[in-house]
């Protein structure tokens, strides 16, 4: 039964689906956030390419800000602590405070780069709550505009992302550098 709904094929999404192991709710193996944060630890000559390859905008002792490879909207960021833990309660109070400082920086970054009309900031804990990576706690900073819930999402049940990931990365990276945040932390 079709019920009038058409399919929009998104084969690029299979890369994400394949990396998930339904038996590994902690996702202790192959954590893309751990790899993204480790990208900043490579030798200086290769650091920029490694960070770009993992869409890592900032990585320091606190954790990092990573552009979501499978975004809800343009500029959708993931903010994660350095520690690979599943719950906020697994972090020390200082680590939770540092994570929130990164969230505030990500909010400033998105506001400066994209001038959204609103933001969604949230965390999904556990697969049934929507966590695509339940083993490494992370927060989402999602810029929103009045027109981003247009007919394509309402009628077509698809989202339109108007900017390529590479362009988003460049814009956010340049904005972060202009903000002087890359040197902080």
Active site residues: 138
**DSSP 8-state symbol, 6:** P
Q: Pick from 38, 17, 10: which is nearest to 132 by CA?
A: 17
- Distance in angstroms (rounded) separating the CA atoms of residues 6 and 155: 10
Q: How many helices (H) and strands (E) does the chain have?
A: 6, 5
- Distance in angstroms (rounded) separating the CA atoms of residues 106 and 176: 9
178, containing H or E segment? helix 165-179
Q: Are 79 and 141 in contact (CB under 8 A)?
A: yes
Each as own residue / partner, the long-range contacts of residues 145-148 (CB below 8 Å, 24 or more positions apart, any chain) are 145/73, 145/116, 145/117, 145/118, 146/117, 148/73
């Amino acid at each position: 039964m079709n019920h009038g709904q058409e399919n929009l094929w998104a084969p690029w999404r299979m890369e994400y689906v394949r990396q998930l192991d339904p038996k590994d709710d902690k996702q202790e193996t192959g954590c893309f956030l751990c790899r993204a944060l480790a990208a900043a630890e490579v030798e200086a000559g290769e650091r920029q390419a490694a960070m770009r390859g993992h869409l890592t905008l900032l990585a320091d002792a606190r954790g990092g800000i990573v552009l979501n490879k499978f975004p809800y909207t343009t500029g959708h960021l993931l903010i994660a602590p350095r520690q690979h833990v599943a719950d906020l309660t697994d972090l020390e109070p200082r680590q939770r405070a540092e994570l929130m400082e990164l969230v505030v920086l990500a909010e400033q970054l998105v506001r400066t780069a994209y001038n959204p009309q609103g933001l969604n900031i949230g965390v999904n804990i556990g697969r049934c709550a929507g966590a695509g990576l339940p083993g490494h706690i992370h927060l989402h900073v999602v810029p929103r505009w009045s027109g981003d819930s247009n007919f394509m999402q309402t009628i077509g049940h698809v989202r339109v992302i108007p900017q390529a990931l590479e362009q988003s990365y460049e814009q956010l990276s340049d904005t972060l550098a202009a903000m002087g945040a890359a040197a902080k932390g």
